[in-house]
Amino acid sequence: MPSTFSAPKVSAWRMALMNASPDRADELAKRIAKQGPLLQNRLYRTYSEGDQVEALTEQLLAAAVDIGLKRSQELWDLDLSRQSKPDWHQQGAVGYTAYVDHFAGNLRGVVDRIDYLKSLGVTYLHLLPFFKAAEGPNDGGFAVANFEVVEPRLGTQADLQHLTQALRTAGISLCSDFVLNHVAHDHEWAVEARKGNPEFQNFFCMAHSQAEVDAWEKNLPQIFPDTAPGNFTYQPSLKAWVWTTFYPYQWDLNYANPKVFLEVVSAMMRVANMGVEAFRLDSTAFLWKREGTNCQNQPEVHWLLQAMRAVMEIACPGVLLKAEAIMPTHQLPPYFGLGDTPGPECHLAYHSSMMAASWVALAEENVSILQAVMQNTPAVPKGSAWLTYVRCHDDIGWNVLRPEAQALGDVNHQRLLKASHFFAGIAPGSYAQGASFQTTDLLTAHGTNGMASALVGMSTAQTSVDLQLAVDRLILLQSLSYFTGGLPLLYMGDELGMGNTAAEVLESRQGPDGRELHRPDWQEGLAQLRTQEGTVQHRIFSKLQAFAELRKSLPAFQGDVSVQAIESKQPTVLALQRGTELKGFFNFSRQKIDQLGDDGLAITLKPYGFVWLQTCVGTPARTLID
């Protein structure tokens, strides 16, 4: 922990380079020459005070050089090869996300599932938080008590090293969460702050009077309005209100203090040296607080992310950054560095609007919101990619769709409210068995919980026809995600149509968090069925395998190839063009669509059917899969 924050007299990183082996020293010096000016510029924008910025730049460079010099030969070589091919992660990428404990017991258990993942074509594995979590409730591990120590319940540092190694050998990159916005209330920084240490008190955002709290709250939305209302938690020992955007035990970090940025980025780089190849930057949107705003997506967030990327490009350029910003479509491009201050930022970003809109399309049997989302989705810069998905460990948040719904005349968000009622199974004619999240008030749309299979109607199907339709819906959503995404991400169990967490298991889980509904334990029995023809599991699994194969074989599936909505002539059908060569048609209705004409193409889509076509000039369109 730096005790002072003025620029050191002798540059530590220059000294370190002088004493290093010439090949690493030369390479690191080259990277600093390239990234240094951008790093300093973004820090100036953020912190403005000259001395402070110089000191911070020096310390970040020293930390980056230290990490670069300590990087294992294998990771160093990987960095070099990836530097010469920045789109290394793009061709045929398929992601999978899972909780370590529910999926495989512990980190060692994950090693035993590598062959399974390979059979799905997985190249990228996001394991939900596996570093030490708060004692007691911890938001599924998102209340992090130590950024670098493995959660003892899940394994040891050696287990983690072993896992990253085994995954790398299998061609799979491990992605770890890095929770940027907050730490657990029992993280040592919070403990020190509570003890009265002013240095650490300045690590957190705090308000010192109820009036101050009220002034901020006026503009702040609530993430968990039912279970954790408000954005502040009074701490008697501090005689202050700590900013807690999420749960009261998750304390928001104060990025206006440059030491926080230094400490967080340094910890991230140390984790990279454990073999982690990608970071999911959790709750990125919330890092900067500004009076009079909703404190989301502030320009400083992007300057800091660009500074972070620059530091990572020096220390470990083979590591990917992924933005978790669950925000409306128009707020997402800046996370790729496409904002007012352009520059390399994240390699990947969740497309949460597309995900939520595909569920609305299913409920309404109408694609207008989804189409609007696609129209609002720009191409990403070279070397980056949209992360598409059907479900994840969180609820489906409906409010990201407000701008598109409103532009289509849905002033009071009735369409979103109806979709949320539909998936909670409380709308007439609904086949879904999900549950509303954070909505005791039936007149607000917030989120919906439930495994994909329960939301598409697999659990309520009475007849084989019902079941068939439900499975078709699930495959339709996945086909859209695999067609559109640079990195389609599967959520654990969806490849098998795994259902909601069993009621008795739910009861035994800690805390009232409704998202536990879609966090079931692994069912090996279902996994076994995937190889038996005629089973639902075989149908879903083999389709996903076929999607993955196609993605690998065609350059048009490269992550940065643009995807655009094209005219479909049917309100229930989404039509997309990927690059110049591929077209995809997705029928969100239970009606068969005959003769969908597009440029002379005559397409028939079965209920909830889809087709991917290869359309090269001068040759008839070829069906790749349907």
Give me the active site residues, please.
Answer: 282, 324
* Cβ at position 177, least distance to ligand GLC in Å: 8
Using the contact rule CB under 6 A, the part of the chain among 93-101, 136-144, 208-216, 344-352 near ligand GLC is 136-144
CB 139, min distance to ligand GLC, A: 5
C-beta closer to ligand GLC: residue 251 or 303: 251
Identity of the residue, 345 or 513, whose beta carbon is nearer to ligand GLC in the bound complex: 513
Task: Please state the closest distance from residue 233 (CB atom) to ligand GLC, in A.
Answer: 14
Query: Quick one: 142 or 547, whose CB is closer to ligand GLC?
Result: 142
Nearer to ligand GLC, 335 or 483 (CB): 335
Contact between 163 and 154 under an 8 Å Cβ cutoff? The reply is no
| Pair 321, 281: CB distance under 8 Å | yes
- Polymer length of the chain: 626
The reply to whether 252 sits near ligand GLC by the rule CB under 6 A is no
* Measured distance CA(550)–CA(534) in Å, rounded: 23
Contacts with ligand GLC in 303-342 (CB under 6 A)?
A: 324
CA 83 to chain centre: 23
The span from the first CA to the last CA of the chain, in angstroms, equals: 57
Rounded CA gap, 53 and 40, in Å?
7
The site for ligand GLC, by CB under 6 A, has a size of 10
Least spacing, CB of residue 267 vs ligand GLC, in Å: 16
Strand spans (E) along 219-268: 232-235, 240-243, 250-252
| Token pair in block for residue 425 | 């199974």
H helices of 5-99, where?
12-18, 22-47, 50-70, 73-83
| Using rule CB under 6 A, residue 142 touches ligand GLC | yes
Question: 369 is written with which tokens?
Answer: 């919101």
Binding-site string for ligand GLC from residue 195 to residue 234, where x marks contact by CB under 6 A and - marks none: ----------------------------------------
Q: Which residue is nearest to ligand GLC (CB)?
A: 142
**Min separation Cβ 515 and ligand GLC, Å:** 7
Nearer to ligand GLC by Cβ, of 283 and 388: the residue is: 283
Tokens of 50: 């000259």
Confirm or reject binding of residue 139 to ligand GLC (CB under 6 A). Answer: yes
How many CB atoms lie under 10 A from the CB of residue 366? 18
CA-to-CA separations, 255 to 216, 290, 300, in angstroms, rounded: 17, 11, 9
For 415-438, the three-class secondary structure string (H helix, E strand, C coil) is HHHHHHHHHCCCCCCCCCCCEEEC
Cβ atoms 272, 70 nearer than 8 A: no
- CA–CA separation, 313 vs 317, rounded Å? 4
- The H or E element spanning position 259 is helix 258-272
Residues 394, 521, 560, 626: which binds ligand GLC (CB under 6 A)? 394
Between residues 142 and 261, which has the closer beta carbon with respect to ligand GLC? 142
Angstrom distance (rounded) from CA 264 to CA 300:
16
Nearer to ligand GLC, 79 or 324 (CB): 324
CB closer to ligand GLC, 413 vs 518: 518
The answer to whether residue 438 forms part of the interface with ligand GLC (CB under 6 A) is no
User: What is the pattern of x (binds ligand GLC, CB under 6 A) and - over residues 227-246?
Assistant: -------------------x
The H or E element spanning position 612 is strand 610-614
What is the rounded CA–CA span in Å between residue 157 and residue 108?
11
What residue type is 48 in one-letter code?
S
Q: Which residues between 161 and 180 bind ligand GLC (CB under 6 A)?
A: 179
- Can residue 282 be called a binding residue for ligand GLC (CB under 6 A)? yes
Q: Does 469 bind ligand GLC (CB under 6 A)?
A: no
d(CA 303, CA 56): 14
Name which of 55 and 305 has its Cβ closer to ligand GLC: 305
As measured in angstroms, the least distance from the Cβ of 489 to ligand GLC is: 13
Q: Which of 235, 283, 296, 376 binds ligand GLC (CB under 6 A)?
A: 283
The Cα 312–Cα 297 span in angstroms is 21
DSSP 131: B
Residue 289 or residue 473: which is nearer to ligand GLC going by CB? Answer: 289
The reply on whether position 127 binds ligand GLC by CB under 6 A is no
| β-strand partners of 207 | 241
List the strands of the sheet with 232-235, edge to edge: 206-207, 240-243, 232-235
Compute how many other C-beta atoms are within 10 angstroms of the C-beta atom of residue 278.
Answer: 24
Which pair of tokens denotes residue 173? 């990159």
Using DSSP bridges, classify how beta strands 563-566 and 573-578 pair: parallel, antiparallel or unpaired: antiparallel
Question: What gap in Å lies between CA 397 and CA 410, rounded to an integer?
Answer: 17
Residue type, 433: Q
114 close to 170: Cβ distance less than 8 angstroms = yes
C-beta closer to ligand GLC: residue 252 or 410: 252
Residues in the site for ligand GLC, rule: CB under 6 A?
A: 139-140, 142, 179, 246, 282-283, 324, 393-394
